[in-house]
């Protein structure tokens, strides 16, 4: 009887040991899988996959901790320590592979950010889950033409933001491709558009080209939705970049210190004259400004930086929404520089500091107008709400100072004084039989919209040019601007 009990007890101990070993092996498998998934999602790093990567990181840590606690003996414990080491090393290497800005961009201290060079048929996500293919040249531009040697002619150079780059569009649908196809002339169009760029970027970016080449036609696609407002920021898209501003009636240039963190963590701050307004942008930055005050050594601890960058903004959001009053929250939202509805109001109703920023912006446009080119054209691309009036917020539409073309008239007036030719695409968008087809699912212009804009640019190039008021440094006679007025028929809500 005693021997039987001993035998049963021994069998139970053996069975328990086998179960423990099986559990350890199972957790081994899960830990390895979790680490592989984490690394894969971080490398992809696109949209919702960022959150999934965070979940994989936490899951991996939990699993290896479980492994450590249930393991029996020094071998299991050593294996748990090994898994932790593997995870830390894998996460460090993987996070170093991805710079944390956008999938196709990297931080560049001279201008904020640039596109990555030599991308080959990269598949990117566009509006509403669509996919499009992007290839960049050895300078990081979505350009298919061979660059001439120094001192030679660039027939057409195109500057702008994501609409110029061709966000959501296939290569054949981009401005330069359509221009070359429809122009009937053997002149190459060089696309140097970069998503997120504004007029400050256009000025500093162009300096690299005006002294290196003879520029024929310089075309700037001006996004009415945010090119003015983003130019007032020290750090648009949460990354610092150089900018021009006016101090004591003199235009000054500011260059930020080199970025400690190669990602979008510098908040939304205004340029130097308006730094006092930056605290009010907390609701817009939502905790994505920690790069300004975290020590540089933190960047070397990639996993910690990654987890902090994911968790802190979510905690900060709760803090902001809890502490700030409704009035403060509404004012913070009004300062959002991306497609703000107040741009459809008379300038006297614009919030500060944007209203006061106008004289800085005028100085910036003046500097751009003095950069060398045989012909400079500014094409205004309307906000979606200016064209699709049924999407216009009723509070704005019924505002006593509603003026849908306020920003257009302001920019056109400045350019006209400088002799810069302006083509406003807004009335042409409004008169289109199916204006909704001119936009993608978001604010970006569709292939049909780009085709319309190219047609306007080609037609305007045949116009006679009046005397230019530009600086004699620029050897151009540029025609005046195209003024327009229109009325909106608002659909009943």
Taking only the tens of pLDDT, the chain with its 493 residues reads 555 545 544 554 544 444 466 666 776 777 777 777 777 776 665 544 555 666 666 666 666 666 656 555 555 566 667 777 777 787 777 777 655 556 789 999 999 999 999 999 988 889 988 999 999 999 999 999 999 999 999 999 999 999 999 999 999 999 999 999 998 767 899 999 999 999 999 999 999 999 899 999 999 999 999 999 999 999 999 999 999 999 999 999 999 999 998 889 999 999 999 999 998 888 888 889 999 999 988 888 887 887 788 788 888 888 887 887 888 888 888 899 999 999 999 999 999 999 999 999 999 999 999 999 999 999 999 999 999 988 888 878 889 999 999 999 999 999 988 889 999 999 999 999 999 999 999 999 999 999 999 999 998 875 434 333 433 333 333 233 333 333 333 333 2
Instruction: Indicate the burial class of 337 (C-beta count within 10 angstroms; 0-12, 13-18, 19 or more).
Output: buried
β-bridge partners, 219 = 158, 377
Strand-pair partners of 113: 107
Long-range residue pairs from 102-108, CB within 8 A, at least 24 positions apart, any chain: 102/195, 103/45, 103/46, 104/134, 104/136, 105/194, 105/195, 106/262, 107/239, 107/259, 107/262, 107/263
Query: Whole-angstrom Cα distance, residue 40 to residue 60?
Result: 13
Which region holds residue 283: left if phi is over 0, alpha if psi is between -120 and 50, else beta? alpha
Residue 357 in tokens: 């920023």
For residue 376 the two structure tokens come to: 């400079």
How far is the C-alpha of 183 from the C-alpha of 358, rounded, in Å?
36
Angle between helices 2-44 and 73-97 (to 10 degrees): 10
Rounded Cα distance between 485 and 172, Å, is 33
Check the CA dihedral 467-251-247-344 and report its sign. positive
Tokens, residue 62: 């939990």
Q: How many angstroms separate the CA atoms of 248 and 197, rounded?
A: 27
Question: How would CATH label the architecture of 105-232+338-460?
Answer: 3-Layer(aba) Sandwich (3.40)
Report CA 93 to chain centroid distance, whole Å: 25
pLDDT at 487: 34
Sign of the alpha-carbon dihedral angle for 269, 273, 274, 278: positive
């Amino acid at each position: 009887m005693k021997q039987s009990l001993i035998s049963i007890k021994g069998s139970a101990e053996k069975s328990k040991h086998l179960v423990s070993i099986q559990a350890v092996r199972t957790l081994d498998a899960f830990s390895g899988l979790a680490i592989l998934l984490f690394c894969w999602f971080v490398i992809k790093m696109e949209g919702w996959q960022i959150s999934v990567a965070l979940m994989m990181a936490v899951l991996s840590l939990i699993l290896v901790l479980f492994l450590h606690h249930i393991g029996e003996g020094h071998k299991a414990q050593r294996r748990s320590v090994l898994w932790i080491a593997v995870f830390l090393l894998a996460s460090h290497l993987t996070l170093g592979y991805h710079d944390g800005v956008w999938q196709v961009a990297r931080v560049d201290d001279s201008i904020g950010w640039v596109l990555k060079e030599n991308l080959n048929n990269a598949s990117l996500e566009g509006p509403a889950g669509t996919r499009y293919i992007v290839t960049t040249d050895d300078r990081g531009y979505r350009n298919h033409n061979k660059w001439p040697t120094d001192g030679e002619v660039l027939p057409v150079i195109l500057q702008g933001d994501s609409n110029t780059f061709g966000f959501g569009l296939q290569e054949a649908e981009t401005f330069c491709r359509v221009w070359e196809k429809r122009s009937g002339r053997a002149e190459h169009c060089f696309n140097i558009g970069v998503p997120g760029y504004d007029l400050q970027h256009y000025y500093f970016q162009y300096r690299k080209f005006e002294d290196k080449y003879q520029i024929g036609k310089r075309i700037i696609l001006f996004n009415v939705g945010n090119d003015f407002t983003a130019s007032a920021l020290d750090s648009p898209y949460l990354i610092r970049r150089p900018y021009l501003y006016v101090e004591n009636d003199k235009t000054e240039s500011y260059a930020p210190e080199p970025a400690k963190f190669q990602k979008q963590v510098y908040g939304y701050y205004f340029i130097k004259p308006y730094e006092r307004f930056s605290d009010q942008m907390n609701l817009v930055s939502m905790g994505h400004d920690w790069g300004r005050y975290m020590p540089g050594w933190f960047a070397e601890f990639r996993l910690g930086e990654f987890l902090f960058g994911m968790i802190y903004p979510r905690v900060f959001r709760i803090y902001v929404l809890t502490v700030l009053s409704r009035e403060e929250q509404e004012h913070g939202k009004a300062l959002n520089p991306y497609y703000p509805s107040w741009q459809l109001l008379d300038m006297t109703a614009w919030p500060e500091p944007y209203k006061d920023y106008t004289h800085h912006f005028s100085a910036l446009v003046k500097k751009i107008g003095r950069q060398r080119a045989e012909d400079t054209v500014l094409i205004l691309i309307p906000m979606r709400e200016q064209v699709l009036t049924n999407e216009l917020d009723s509070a704005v539409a019924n505002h006593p100072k509603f003026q849908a073309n306020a920003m257009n008239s302001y920019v056109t007036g400045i350019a006209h004084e400088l002799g810069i030719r302006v083509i406003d695409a807004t009335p042409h968008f409004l008169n289109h039989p199916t204006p909704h087809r001119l936009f993608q699912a978001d604010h970006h212009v569709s292939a049909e919209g780009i085709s319309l804009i190219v047609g306007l640019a080609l037609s305007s190039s045949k116009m006679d040019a009046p005397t230019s008021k530009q600086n004699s440094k620029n050897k151009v006679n540029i025609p005046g601007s195209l003024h327009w007025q229109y009325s909106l028929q608002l659909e009943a809500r």
